[in-house]
A and B are shown apart, each in its own frame.
Chain A
Amino acid sequence: MMLARKFAVRITEFVVRRASAGSREWAEGLAREVASIRSDWAALCWALGSLQVLVDRRGAPIGSLAEVPAAAYRLVENLRSGYGMWYILLQGPVFLLRFFWEPTWTQRCGCALIVVGAMVACIRLLVDRRRLNKPWKDDVYDDAMACARFYQEELERLLSTMWVPVASLTCYCVGVLEVQRGGIRAQPIFAAILLLLCIATVLAMLYARRMNLRRLDRLDQLLAGVE
Chain B
Amino acid sequence: MRKSPQTTLVFSTLLGASQGWSYGYDVSRNTGLKSGTLYPILMRLAERGLLETTWETVTGASGRPPRHLYRLTQVGLRYAQEQVSAAVAEAASKQVGLPAWSEVTG
> Contact between A49 and B39 (Cβ–Cβ < 8 Å)?
yes
B1: nearest chain-A partner, CB-CB: A217
* CA gap between A221 and B49 in the complex, in Å: 11
CA distance in complex: A184, B42 (Å): 48
Contacts of B38 in A (CB 8 A): 49
Interface string of A106-136 (1 = CB under 8 A from B): 0000000000000000000000000000000
Q: Is the CB of B32 closer than 8 A to any CB of chain A?
A: no
Which residues of the other chain, B, contact A221 by a CB distance below 8 angstroms? 47-48
Interface residues contributed by chain B, number (CB under 8 Å): 22
Cβ contact within 8 Å between A30 and B43: no
CA distance A221 to B53 in the complex (A): 19
Given the complex, which residues of A lie within 8 Å of B65, measured CB to CB? 32, 35
- Give the nearest-CB partner of A53 in chain B: B39
Most-contacted residue by chain B among A36, A37, A47 (CB, 10 A): A36
Report whether A30 and B64 are in contact in the complex, using a CB–CB cutoff of 8 Å: no
Contact B43 A23 (CB under 8 A): yes
Contacting pair A50 B35 (CB below 8 A): yes
Contact A53/B35 with A23-B43, A30-B24, A33-B25 known, Cβ cut-off 8 Å = yes
Q: Are B39 and A25 within 8 A (Cβ)?
A: no
Q: A30-B39, A50-B36, A57-B43 are in contact. List 20 more A-B contacts (CB 8 A).
A: A29-B67, A30-B24, A32-B66, A32-B67, A32-B68, A33-B24, A35-B65, A36-B23, A36-B67, A37-B25, A45-B34, A47-B35, A49-B34, A49-B37, A49-B38, A49-B39, A52-B34, A52-B37, A53-B39, A53-B43
Name B's A-contacting residues (CB within 8 A).
Answer: 23-25, 28, 34-40, 42-43, 47-48, 53, 60, 64-68
A: residues with CB less than 8 A from B are: 23, 25-26, 28-30, 32-33, 35-37, 45-53, 56-57, 218, 221
Ranked nearest first, the 4 interchain pairs of A and B with the lowest CB-CB distance are: A29-B68, A52-B36, A49-B35, A49-B36
